[in-house]
Every structure is written in structure tokens, then in C-alpha cells.
Amino acid sequence: MIDTNNTISALRMLGLKMSSIAGNIANVASDNYKKTTAILSEGEAPGSVGIEINRDESPGHKVYEPHGGDLLERELSNVNIVEEFAKSMTTRNSFETNLTYLRTVDEMLGKVIDTIG
């Protein structure tokens, strides 16, 4: 019997990782925003995939803007857009690979059913 539960678990976690990346990209221009980092790991069930999402509290770049004779300090987000795009491409490729596996299993089972029937 073919078990696809692990692949489905991976797809769910990859979706959560992509949501983390999308949130970072959406907030790249938000002052004081702290990016999240999603790390995939082995899940509780054997062969399943888990995820740990952490907030990176490192400071963003500081900029100074003139305001009525004074300089106001602003802290930008700590998101590196290039890093986030690279993560999104890797995550997308992993998602597509797992999806291809499920499609292949579906085709194989369809052929088995056709053969039997």
C-alpha cells in the first residue's frame, strides 16, 4: 500500500512556510517589522514533517529624517527581500516536487484500477 500521508504533511508545512515568507515580503516596507523564519523538521509521527516558526528580533536598518529642525530616527523592517525571494523559490520547488509525487501515485493507482477492471 502506498502511504501519501507524509507527502501531504510536507505540503501543509511548505504552505505554512510560504505564508511566513509572503508575510515578510508584504511587510518589507513596514517600520519596525520583525521577520519570521520557518524551519522544517521531522514531525512527531515517523516520516512526517513539522515546522517551527520563529520571529527574528534583530534590528532593522535605522534611518534619520529631518522633522522641523530635528532628526527623527526610524527603524525599518529587518527583512532582506533578496533572501525572501530565494526562500520562496526553494519552497515553491519543494512544493512542486511533493505535488508531482502525489500525481504520479494517482496515475499509478489509476492504471492498477484500469488493469483490474
- The DSSP secondary-structure symbol of 31 reads T
Round to whole Å and give the CA distance between 8 and 3: 10
Give pLDDT, residue 83: 97
Round to whole Å and give the CA distance between 30 and 37: 17
Give pLDDT, residue 1: 58
Round to whole Å and give the CA distance between 19 and 109: 32
* Closest CA relative to residue 10, chosen from 106, 86, 91: 91
CA 38 to mean position of chain CA atoms: 6
The cell for 35 is: 521577520
Long-range contact set of residues 36-42: C-beta below 8 Å, sequence gap at least 24: 40/10, 40/13, 40/14
Residue recorded with cell 525599518: 76
Cβ neighbours of 68 (radius 10 Å): 5
pLDDT tens, position by position, for the chain (117 residues)?
Answer: 567 889 999 999 999 999 999 999 999 999 999 999 999 999 988 888 999 999 999 999 999 999 888 999 999 999 999 999 999 999 999 999 999 999 999 899 889 888 987
Q: What is the dihedral of CA 37, 6, 4, 84, to 10 degrees?
A: 10
Give pLDDT, residue 45: 86
Give pLDDT, residue 13: 96
Give pLDDT, residue 92: 97
Give pLDDT, residue 100: 95
